[in-house]
Amino acid sequence: MRPSRRLEKIPPYLFAELERKVAAKKAAGIDVISLGIGDPDRPTPEVVVGALRDAAGRPDTHQYPSNRGRTEFRQSVAAFYSRRFGVDLDPETEVIPALGAKECIFNLNLAFLDPGDTALAADPGYPVYTGGPLLAGAEPTLMPLLRERGFAPDLSAVAAADRERARLLFLNYPNNPTGAVAPDGLFEEAVAFGRDHDVLVVHDASYTETTFDGYRAPSFLATPGAKEVGVEVFSLSKGYNMTGWRTAAIVGNAEALESYWRLKTNIDSGMFEAVQLAAVAALEHADEDARAMCETYARRRDLVVGALRDIGVDVTPPRGTIYVWAPVPEGHTSASYCEQVLEESAVVLSPGSAYGPNGEGFFRISLTIEDDRLGEAVERLRASLGG
Ligand SMILES: Cc1ncc(COP(=O)(O)O)c(C=O)c1O
């Protein structure tokens, strides 16, 4: 059965070969430690789980939700944005629930792109910024994120023809996979770019609540003029250990939210209202849990960065996200290095090339594994590669 041409355009899954090798090792009884996937290992805070338990017992949560979201959810997101970021949002028109940032970002492509249009996407970057435009019948245009520029795109380098046909610009800080935080001035440049070229700026705020060393990530919407040209997708997945819950919100430009809502009413029927009420509990009562997780990740980051430096890897400690992004040793590609580490140490790393051509030459370590296993992985790396 032939899948659609749109689907056939999606590049092959780059982790496939790695996953096959991992499965073979596990089948042979080898203790493989995966530092690949970024999925928080600790449970969702009890205050959130308890709120879901209570809300699920309430019959008023049991029917089709509305795609607009419950008033409590929208008000709670607006209150959080005011308290945490100093951003004013109208809960009636500037907040809509999303079934995870992934769903939201994908659907923004469907809502805003036509054939011939392009979306400006970071390279390396989260794969939905490139797969989304292709599945929408449009194209992504890659913006290189280079180490020497602090992993910020150079918007002035976007070719004139691409500016003309661009409808979306994706940004994401703190950034997956590089761990970079937003450099000074980038959000202001993005606002000007959006205004000058009639491009909707989409800031993916999946990691704003996961930061270290006293750094607190700003909202893109705190930038003057941002609401006129942009939206932000705020996810509870990483900051509140809620990846399985599929909880996020799109906030910002009311006209853009209206288009997203119109599209969504044709695609799904919104977020289970009990989950919306649990998300309210997270936003209102789980600050301390989120900060405690940041301390845990910071400790793990230090463990990993220390070990990598011991074996001669030139790595910058990230101030946000749940990843360490580091260059592979001389003479290796991302894939050859990750394969060697898997063969010699039974440790799974993510090859940087899986996130785009400019990820080549890097690998990514995820910090979402308990300290003792991470310590074991680090010892294995030290023993096999440092010795
Ligand atoms: C940059 C980025 N955006 C979005 C997502 C997906 O988030 P959600 O669980 O809210 O769909 C991820 C998950 O890894 C991510 O790294």
> Which residue among 238, 321, 322 has the greatest number of ligand 1 atoms within 8 angstroms of its CB, and so is best to mutate?
238
- Grouping H, G, I as helix, E, B as strand and the rest as coil, residue 89 is coil
Q: Is the pLDDT confidence value at 375 over 60?
A: yes
3-state secondary structure of 49: helix
Answer whether 117's CB lies under 8 Å from 166's CB. yes
pLDDT score of 91 more than 60: yes
Packing angle of the helix pair 101-112, 128-135 (nearest 10 deg) = 40
CA distance linking residue 295 with residue 346, whole number of Å: 27
- Residue range 254-277: mean pLDDT, rounded: 98
Q: CB of 36 closer than 6 A to ligand 1?
A: no
Average pLDDT value for residue range 130-145? 96
Which protein residue has the closest C-alpha to ligand 1 atom 7? 101
Residues in contact with 87: Cβ distance below 8 Å, sequence separation at least 6, in sequence order? 81, 219, 221, 222
> Which residues on neighbouring strands pair with residue 204, listed in sequence order?
233
Gap from CA of 384 to ligand 1 centroid (Å): 33
Residue that is written with structure tokens 């030139």 in the block: 314
Question: Which atom of ligand 1 is closest in space to residue 321's alpha carbon?
Answer: 16
pLDDT at residue 121 above 90? Answer: yes
Cα–ligand 1 centroid distance for 279 (angstroms): 16
Q: Which of 126, 170, 322 has most ligand 1 atoms within 8 Å of CB, for mutation?
A: 126
Angle at which helices 371-381 and 287-310 cross, to 10°: 10
Q: Sign of dihedral through CA atoms 81, 87, 88, 90?
A: negative
Q: CB neighbours (10 Å) of residue 346? A: 18
Sign of the CA dihedral with 126 first, then 132, 133, and 135 last: positive
Cα separation, 256 vs 75, in Å, equals: 19
Q: Collapsing DSSP states into helix, strand and coil, what is residue 118?
A: strand
pLDDT in tens, 214-260: 999 999 999 999 999 999 999 999 999 999 999 999 999 999 999 99
- Residue 13 pLDDT > 60, yes or no? yes
Confidence (pLDDT) at 207 = 98
Share of the chain above pLDDT 90, in %: 89
Determine the Cα–Cα distance for residues 244 and 40; give it in Å rounded to an integer.
Answer: 10
Answer whether 247 contacts ligand 1 (Cβ < 6 A).
no
Say how many CA atoms lie within 13 Å of 342 toward its Cβ: 24
Query: Strands 139-144 and 200-205, how do they pair?
Result: unpaired
Would you say the CB of residue 203 lies under 6 angstroms from ligand 1? no
Let me know the angle formed at the C-alpha of 296 by 285 and 385, rounded to the nearest 5 degrees.
155
**For residues 282 and 361, what is the distance between their CA atoms, to the nearest angstrom?**
38
Task: Report whether 202 contacts 171 (CB < 8 A).
Answer: yes
**What is the model's pLDDT at position 286?**
97
* pLDDT band with cut points at 50, 70 and 90 for residue 383: confident
Least confident of 5-9, 31-35, 82-86, 279-283: 5-9
What are the pLDDT digits (tens) for 275-329? 999 999 999 999 999 999 999 999 999 999 999 999 899 999 999 999 999 999 9
**Does this model's pTM top 0.85?**
yes
Please tell me the number of Cα atoms within 13 Å of 307 on its side-chain side.
20
Residue 321 Cβ contacting ligand 1 at under 6 Å: no
Gap between the Cα atoms of 142 and 157, Å rounded: 11
| Average pLDDT rounded to a whole number, residues 48-54 | 98
Q: For ligand 1, is residue 126 a contact (CB within 6 Å)? A: yes
pLDDT for position 14:
63
Q: Which of 20-24, 132-136, 218-222, 226-230 has the lowest mean pLDDT?
A: 20-24
Q: Is the per-residue pLDDT at 48 higher than 80?
A: yes
> How far is Cα 173 from Cα 184, in angstroms, rounded to an integer?
12
CB 204 within 8 A of CB 171: yes
How would you class 244 by CB atoms within 10 Å of its CB: exposed for 0-12, middle for 13-18, buried for 19 or more? exposed
In the structure, what pLDDT confidence band is assigned to residue 62 with cuts at 50, 70 and 90?
very high
Does ligand 1 come within 6 angstroms of the Cβ of 101?
yes
Please name the residue ranges forming H helices in the chain: 5-8, 16-27, 46-56, 71-80, 101-112, 128-135, 160-165, 186-197, 226-229, 254-264, 273-285, 287-310, 334-345, 371-381
Looking at residue 291, its pLDDT comes to 97
- pLDDT confidence of 386, banded at 50, 70, 90? low
Q: Answer yes or no: is pLDDT of 387 > 50.
A: no
